[in-house]
Structures are given as C-alpha cells and as structure tokens.
Amino acid sequence: MSNRINQLQQLVKDSDGLHINSELLDYSGVVEYYPEELVMTAKAGTTISEIQTELAKHNQALPFFVKTLNMSIGSVYAQGAQDLSDCVLGVQIIDGTGELLNFGGQVMKNVAGYDVARLLVGSKGKLAIITQISFKVMPQTYIGKIDKPSFSIIDKPSFSIRQKIERRLKQVFDPKGVFN
Amino acid sequence: MLVIKQLLTQLPKNIILTGEENTRPFECDGLSVYRQKPLAVVLPENIVQIKQVLKICKANNTPVVTRGAGTGLAGGAMPLENSVVLGLSKLNQVKSIDVENRLAVVEPGVRNIAISEAVAQYGLYYAPDPSSQIACTIGGNVAENSGGVHCLKYGLTVHNVKAIKMLTIDGDELILSRQDDGLGLLALMNGSEGLLGIITEITVKLTPTPALARVVMAGFDSVRDCANAVADIVKAGVIPAGLEMMDSFAIEAAEGFAQVGYPLDAKALLLCELDGTHAQVQVELNQVLKILSNASTLKVSNNEQERLDLWQGRKSAFPAVGRLSPDYYCMDGTIPRRHLADMLEKINALSQKYQLRVANVFHAGDGNLHPLILYDANKTSELEKVEEFGTEILRLSVDMGGTITGEHGVGVEKLNAMCHQFNAKELAIFHKIKAVFDPKSLLNPGKAVPELHRCAELGSMHVHHGKLPHPELERF
C-alpha cells in the first residue's frame, strides 16, 4: 500500500475536522489503463488534462462533461453529474474512521453489493475521501456532443425524506463527522 | 396468524393467496434449487394497497419479499420463512409515452419487451434486453440492474432509467431522478435487490431503432484467437451492439438445437453485431472483417432473416444445453476482457478436475461469463460438487480483477462468494446502508449481503484485485 494512502488514513484517524481538496489529497497519476478494456483507473488527484492526454494517444476520450481541464478527476466526481455517474465503475475511499475501502471494480457489468461507487458521486467531499476512481472511457468517434448537466428541483415531500436519508448515509460513512 | 388475518380483513380477498396449494407457484424464482413457501402472497392492484401491505407487515415484523415475474437467477425473489411475497405483476400499465423526449413512464409489472412493443410504432425501443425479456418485469430489472446482449453499446438498466418512484418501508414516497442534486440515490436503488424499498413507477429512456443491423459470425481454430479478436475489435475503436462468444461444446449444443449453420469444427465462435446508419455499419463492417481475417469461418448476414437466424443459435444456447443434461448451473462472473482466454483454459481444467462438463457462453464484449455446468441433481452430492466448481470460477473472476456477478445479482445464491469479493468492513457498510432505509430489516432480509459471521465461518480468504493479503507467506 502506498505511503500517501497510509498518511491519509492516519490523518483522518487523528483529525476532528478535514476539508478535502486536491491539495490535501496530494495523490495523482494514472494507475492502470488498457485501451482495449475501455477502462482507466486513476488516483483522484489526477487532472483531467493529464487523463485526456493519455486517452488521446489511443483515440479515446472521456464521455462526460468537465468544466475545466485543470480540475482533478476526484473533484469532478465529488461535484457529481449524471453523465459522469454513468461512467463510474469503481472507487477506493477512506471513510471517516480512516478505513480504506473498495467498492465496484474495473468491469462494465458488476452487480455485487450496493452501488456505492455511484452513490458517492456528488458527495462533495462530505462522506469520504475518494482516493482512486475507475471509469469507462470511449473511442473518440463514439462521443457525440456533451451537454452541461442540468439539475432539477426536487419536489417537497420527497425532499425532506431525501434529506433525512442523506443525513443518515453521511453517518454510515463518516460517523464522527470528520469531513466538513 | 395475525398478519394473514389482518391482510384478509384490510385488503380485497381476491388479491391474497394463502395456504400450501396457492402459494406453491411462488416458492422459488428462476433458481429453482432453493425453495421456501411464504405465509401469503399479495398481488396488489394499486399503490394504496402496497402501502397497506407494508403497514401490516411492519406492524407484525413480517418480512416482505418483492417479486416481479420471478425470472431472477439468484434467488432474489425466493420467499423467506414466515414472509409475505409482494407480487407486482398486476401493475402492468404503460402510463405515458413522450416520443419527443424519448421517455416512457411505466408501472413496475410491465414486461421488458412490452415497453419496446408499445413504442415500436414511433421507431423507438427500450435497449436493455436480458434473455428473459419476454417475461421479466421492468421493476425486477431495476432491482437487479439487469443487463443483456447489448450492454456494451447501450448500457445496463441503470443507464436507461431516468427516474423512479419508490416507497420506503414506512410507506413514504420518494421520487428519484437522474437530475437530482446530491448523492446518487437513483443509482443506489438500481441493483439493490429489493432490500431498500419498493419501486412503484419507472421512467425509462427510449432508444431510436437503428436503421440497419448486421451480424458477423466468425469461427476460430483456437479460443485464444477468438478472445484476441474481441480485444482487437474494441481496440480498433469499434463498439459493436453485441459481441458474443461460445466455446466448441456450446456451438455443438446450439447447432444441434437450432440448425443455423454454426461451424461444428470451430473451437470458438464469435457473433459481432453492428448497428446504426447504413454508412456507419459499412465502415465498421470493413474494420471488423479486416480484424477477423484469420478466422476459419466467416459469414455476414445479408438480410434481416439471416441476422435473426445467426442469433437464434446463441439465443437458444441455454435450452440447447438443457437438452444435453438433466440439469445445468449458470454462472455469472465478469472479468476484464484481456483475461478471457486464460479464464476459458482455467474453466476447462476445472471441468477435468470435477469431471463435470461445461458449455461456455460469454457476453465477451463486456467480459461477462455464463459458463453452464452440466450435472444431474438426482445423483447424490452432485449439486454440492457443482457449487464448489462454481465457487472456484467466481474466486478466479475476483482474482482477475472482476466480479462474482455481472447481471444476475447475489440473491441467496452468491452470499458465500460475496465474502471473497468484499472484506468485513466493506460488508458492514452495506449493512449500514440497508439500515438507513430499513432499520428493522424487513425488506428481503438476509439476501444480497452476507452476515459477517457467515464469512468468518467460511474462513474465506479475502483477495482484492488479484493481491493476496500477506504475499510474503507461503500458501499451499
């Protein structure tokens, strides 16, 4: 296991409050990329431009919207959008107790266990540190126009139940309330 | 029993089935080796009735097992002891179709193929096509995140569901949509196997029917050449609508059953479907034919009938194998495509070891394997041997960086295998997620996620992404 991961785990264990961002994470680079699998695994601090450069060598690209190229894949994931969620296959995370956990994987079809890798899309750094992400990529020729994702207003009765569920899910991943 | 009495007094009697005889048809799903009769089966006709069932079951601490068509292959809809089965097959209306935005709003009991039939007149269809699509329901598809032959290009159920309405165990309605800001609750519900809520309405994405589809059939002298061709097609930048592989035993079985002209001397067969506009299909066809130039047999469908004929063999592979053996057991592991040839060799070695025949049918495009292990349930302890064999295949899948189930779900069948894919801390997170939605664990309890003590008793060695814990230790 990498030193940086051990340090981050220790940091979470020792901390009362952490704000997660790419600087804090300081963990980047493409971990695994097989063009014939259409899958890339990257550390969360890897910038989109670094990823795009690697993919372009094999005429592949990211099939989801990204605002700017200097963003990290981790922050795109944390901010969340449906087209990105569609491409997520697996994540490695450090939860609020400092445990390193893996959910999902590197294959397109995978229904073992709840889909935590997609649940945490849009979690905005409040539930866990996302350390590594596996996602689907596509040949450039298959990627059409990518629209900026839009969000809809959630109807009221659903919204209050949803808030309650989201609060409880935060407790599942971050029982001590470390991430703020 | 009080719960039955309350159901009978508070709901119309004609929607409730009780007693040995009436509940027997519901004692299992598509995985018929596991059976259990429920206390009662309720077949509600509307949402109000579902809420009433939940209220009564909650008050009596009675587990609820939600069921669609019961075609699942992992025991997800198998009743539990002293449970009530909530069958949603009567909620079978397509509520609205929005042609312009390519959406349909449907009730959970609508059959998968019925959606495509309802929208065919607009040049649209619903893309995910599990092999049980003539019978299986869309609600069950969401609960299992079902796949099919066309996932590589068109995605799984989770990619084709725009929104759902669901009921929590408390009877609260929750609307989840792809556009929601916040956690990915809609994705979480996909594949949650009836453990988190009751899905009462689904808005699905519709796909334009392609102008043309053609299928290429290629026979190979070696499994490895066939597996390499799969990787080469994807590497070349072609995403086929379907990319299926069969081994020699499966070819023989399918040809014997369907007589569609599969090459009986081939060691492996590839079916590659290309769809889109005429121009797109032609460009991709040229690319694919170039890659497949080392195939021993090559055939391209020239019209729709030929295309359907070439698929007929593959689609009848399961019943064809069923004809050769009293019973067969279908596995569902998924592996990274690059390991396909290695996996086939290992499965063949295991087949020798256990002295059980295997027919291999793969969704090669997405690395999803369906080895069919042939056996005879009437022979003492043969099923045990099959399960041991199957477990070895699933362990191999995880060790190669894949998963124990690509599209069939965990249900009751793969609870032990889950111990191999996830460690105790990850499994504990799953249990806590369930508790968020269902604190008293009344919705399909005990399915999909193994209890921690079960894994401890198995003494399962947890492996992640091919890395053994403590690699410095010798193992025998």
Interface of B with A in 386-405 (CB under 8 A): 401-405
Asked if the Cβ–Cβ distance from A111 to B235 is below 8 Å, we say: no
B466 → chain A, closest CA residue: A105
Chain A nearest CA to B18, separation (Å)? 33
Say which of A109, A121, A138 has its CB closest to residue B407: A109
What CA–CA distance (Å, rounded) separates B461 from B266? 38
- Burial profile B273-297: b = 16 or more Cβ within 10 angstroms, e = fewer: bbbbeeeebeebbebbeebbeebeb
Q: Residue B9 is inside which H or E element, if any?
A: helix B2-10
Contact list in A for residue B190 (CB cut-off 8 A) is 115
pLDDT of residue A151: 82
What CA–CA distance (Å, rounded) separates B388 from B288? 39
Asked if the Cβ–Cβ distance from A169 to B464 is below 8 Å, we say: no
Asked if the Cβ–Cβ distance from B334 to A107 is below 8 Å, we say: yes
Q: Which long-range contacts (CB under 8 A, 24 or more apart) does B45-48 make?
A: B45/B12, B45/B15, B45/B90, B45/B91, B46/B91, B47/B167, B47/B200
- Tell me which of B403, B415, B427 to substitute to probe the interface with A (most A C-beta atoms closer than 10 Å): B403
Query: pTM value?
Result: 0.95
Contact list in B for residue A140 (CB cut-off 8 A) is 237
Q: B183-242, pLDDT tens digit by residue? A: 999 999 999 999 999 999 999 999 999 999 999 999 999 999 999 999 999 999 999 999
Asked if the Cβ–Cβ distance from B158 to A95 is below 8 Å, we say: no
List all residues 6 or more positions away from B420 whose beta carbon is below 8 Å from its beta carbon.
B394, B395, B398, B404, B460, B461, B462, B463
Q: Residue B129 is inside which H or E element, if any?
A: none
Chain B nearest CA to A67, separation (Å)? 17
Contact list in B for residue A142 (CB cut-off 8 A) is 237, 239
To the nearest 10°, the Cα dihedral for B198, B199, B201, B206? Answer: -170
pLDDT of residue B290: 97
pLDDT of residue B473: 42
pLDDT of residue A44: 98
What is the dihedral sign for C-alpha B103, B126, B111, B42? Answer: negative
Contact list in B for residue A57 (CB cut-off 8 A) is none
Chain A nearest CA to B14, separation (Å)? 32
Say which of A114, A122, A166 has its CB closest to residue B430: A114
pLDDT of residue A153: 75
What CA–CA distance (Å, rounded) separates B466 from B224? 22
Mark the ranges of chain B whose per-residue pLDDT is less than 70.
Answer: 460-476
Contact list in A for residue B196 (CB cut-off 8 A) is 114
Say which of B179, B196, B449 has its CB closest to residue A82: B179
Listed residue (A23, A38, A67, A25) closest to A138, CA to CA: A38
Q: B372-386, pLDDT tens digit by residue? A: 999 998 998 998 999
B465 → chain A, closest CA residue: A105
Say which of B179, B403, B414 has its CB closest to residue A151: B179
Q: Residue B385 is inside which H or E element, if any?
A: helix B382-399
Asked if the Cβ–Cβ distance from B401 to A107 is below 8 Å, we say: yes
pLDDT of residue A156: 73
CA distances to B93, B113, B191, B192 from B76, in Å: 24, 21, 11, 10
DSSP3 helix / strand / coil % (chain B, rounded to 5): 40, 20, 40
Strand partners of residue B375 = B327
pLDDT of residue B56: 98
- Residue B11 has a CB neighbour count (10 Å cut-off) of 18
Cβ atoms of residues B254 and B323 within 8 Å: no
Listed residue (A134, A135, A130) closest to A101, CA to CA: A130
Mean pLDDT by 10 residues, chain A (180 residues): 92 95 93 96 98 97 93 95 94 98 96 98 97 97 85 80 96 96
Cα–Cα–Cα angle for B122, B123, B126, nearest 5°? 100
Cβ atoms of residues A12 and A94 within 8 Å: yes
Asked if the Cβ–Cβ distance from A116 to B183 is below 8 Å, we say: no
Q: What is the ipTM of this complex?
A: 0.97
